[in-house]
Amino acid sequence: MKSLKLGKSNILSSRIVYGCMRIIGDNSIDSRKKGKQAIRTAIEEGYTHFDHADIYGGGKCEELFSEILGENPEVRDKIIITSKCGIRDKNNPNENDPARYDFSKEYIVKSVEGSLSRLKVEYLDLLLLHRPDYLCNPEEVSEVFQELQDSGKVLNFGVSNFQPSQVSMLQSYCPFPLLVNQVEINIHNINALLDGTLDQCQELKITPQAWCPIGGVVYPAWGNTFSKEDEVRIKSEFDNQSKKYNAENWIVMLAWLLKHPSMILPIIGTTTPSRIKAAKQALEIDYSREDWYRLLEARNGYPVP
Ligand SMILES: NC(=O)c1ccc[n+]([C@@H]2O[C@H](COP(=O)([O-])OP(=O)(O)OC[C@H]3O[C@@H](n4cnc5c(N)ncnc54)[C@H](OP(=O)(O)O)[C@@H]3O)[C@@H](O)[C@H]2O)c1
């Protein structure tokens, strides 16, 4: 497995991250077993970075992951554990409460304590603010980050789904560099290419992470706007490239993401062991500039002007 340094730090992450959002499936015994096997496979295959959030499976994904760490205590210090906070899920703290974004000091600390106790670890390598809280007080966030770092509970910080202006604003208050901005990037959602997110990552040396990286290839991406005609055109280009590179379409998609000079870290979420292994094939593809543009044009439905 190839690796890269996260943001301005010296922390080495595997070049593909394993996302733990789906590891409990429907929380049945069988799907939990499948989820544990997926994590074991990811560790065996050299993935060293695992992405969580306090809300994944209502906390059950972090709990399941702790079972693996319990069985293999030597693994903890060899991997990066990321978790996220800032989305107060519905029914929290009271039944029928709606979901809200919450970057208050009280909520961030409570969320980190919860993640540490579910994961049964002493520290998180990386904590991300999950989605922008419009009522964010950056001084308060910076203060709580500092306290969490001083206490050794969180080593590094980053953000997720932040617009460039929101990153700049928060960074201007934080005494240490934000390491990542985790956003949706896939063949359907290329906003990060267009709204300055990837430019800013390159400018400030922030590592972009792509969630749902194969959305729009093997399943419809969030808020799908592709027509049938779009899908046929895009699939046809994927099929051509699939033959050329001798790799399945979704692996070509990963290669497309990896090609970008901002050094996008795709976060894969498959729970199928053979796919966890196969994703690494994308790292071996010598993906051409020409094919990158061909896929972009197939996606857009028009040539570059
Ligand atoms: N920050 C955020 O707001 C945010 C939001 C969403 C997700 N995330 C993070 O991003 C991670 C990845 O997201 P994701 O799980 O949506 O990633 P993904 O890798 O795009 O999608 C994984 C899904 O695709 C299926 N799949 C994979 N290959 C397939 C194939 N060849 N044919 C059919 N189905 C296939 C998998 O099914 P199988 O399991 O059956 O293989 C799984 O259901 C999450 O785990 C989470 O850590 C972050």
Q: One of 18, 56, 123, 287 is an active-site residue; which one?
A: 56
Ligand 1 mean position, distance from CA 183 (Å): 13
pLDDT score of 224 more than 90: yes
Estimate to the nearest angstrom the gap between the alpha carbon of 114 and the chain centroid: 20
The answer as to whether 45 is a domain residue is yes
- Out of 32, 83, 212, mutate this one to test ligand 1's pocket (max ligand atoms within 8 Å of CB): namely 212
- Out of 219, 239, 253, 256, mutate this one to test ligand 1's pocket (max ligand atoms within 8 Å of CB): namely 219
> Which amino acid, one-letter code, is at 276?
I
Ligand 1 mean position, distance from CA 18 (Å): 9
Which residue has a Cα nearest atom 11 of ligand 1?
19
The answer as to whether 244 is a domain residue is no
Ligand 1 mean position, distance from CA 268 (Å): 6
What's 99's DSSP letter? P
Core vs surface per residue 226-242: b (16+ CB within 10 A) or e: beeebeebbeebbeebb
Strand ranges in the chain using DSSP code E only, listed in sequence order: 3-5, 12-14, 17-19, 49-51, 80-85, 87-88, 100-101, 124-129, 154-160, 180-184, 207-211, 265-268
Per residue in 113-168, pLDDT tens? 999 999 999 999 999 999 999 999 999 999 999 999 999 999 999 999 999 999 99
Mean of pLDDT values over 82-98: 90
Our answer to whether residue 56 is catalytic in this structure is yes
- Out of 22, 62, 82, 271, mutate this one to test ligand 1's pocket (max ligand atoms within 8 Å of CB): namely 22
The answer as to whether 206 is a domain residue is yes
Q: Report phi then psi at 281, rounded to 5.
A: -55, -30
What's 122's DSSP letter? S
pLDDT at 93: 83
Pocket of ligand 1 (CB under 6 A): 19-22, 51, 130, 160-161, 182, 211-215, 218-219, 250, 267-272, 275
**Average pLDDT across the chain, whole number:** 97
What's 283's DSSP letter? G
- The answer to pTM > 0.85 is yes
The answer as to whether 208 is a domain residue is yes
Per residue in 23-46, pLDDT tens? 999 999 999 999 999 999 999 999
Do residues 125 and 153 touch, judged by C-beta distance below 8 A?
Answer: no
Confidence of residue 194 (pLDDT cuts 50, 70, 90): very high
**Cα gap 231→26, rounded to integer Å:** 29
C-alpha angle with apex 78: 77 to 81, nearest 5 degrees? 75
The answer as to whether 76 is a domain residue is yes
Ligand 1 mean position, distance from CA 267 (Å): 8
Confidence of residue 92 (pLDDT cuts 50, 70, 90): confident
pLDDT score of 211 more than 90: yes
pLDDT score of 295 more than 90: yes
Per residue in 161-180, pLDDT tens? 999 999 999 999 999 999 99
Q: Residue 159, CB half-sphere, CA atoms under 13 Å: how many?
A: 26
pLDDT at 16: 98
The answer as to whether 280 is a domain residue is no
Nearest-CA neighbor of 54 among 99, 94, 17?
99
| CB-count burial class (<10 Å; 0-12, 13-18, 19+) for 110 | middle
pLDDT score of 200 more than 90: yes
Ligand 1 mean position, distance from CA 261 (Å): 23
pLDDT at 94: 86
User: In ligand 1, which atom is closest to the CA atom of 250?
Assistant: 31
What's 111's DSSP letter? H
Confidence of residue 90 (pLDDT cuts 50, 70, 90): confident
pLDDT at 89: 86
3-state helix, strand, coil in the chain (%, to 5): 45, 15, 35
Which residue has a Cα nearest atom 36 of ligand 1?
270
Domain count within the chain: 1
What's the CATH code of the domain at 119?
3.20.20.100
Per residue in 259-272, pLDDT tens? 999 999 999 999 99
The answer as to whether 223 is a domain residue is no
Strands 265-268 and 17-19: parallel
The parent domain of residue 85 ranges over: 3-216+264-270
The answer as to whether 93 is a domain residue is yes
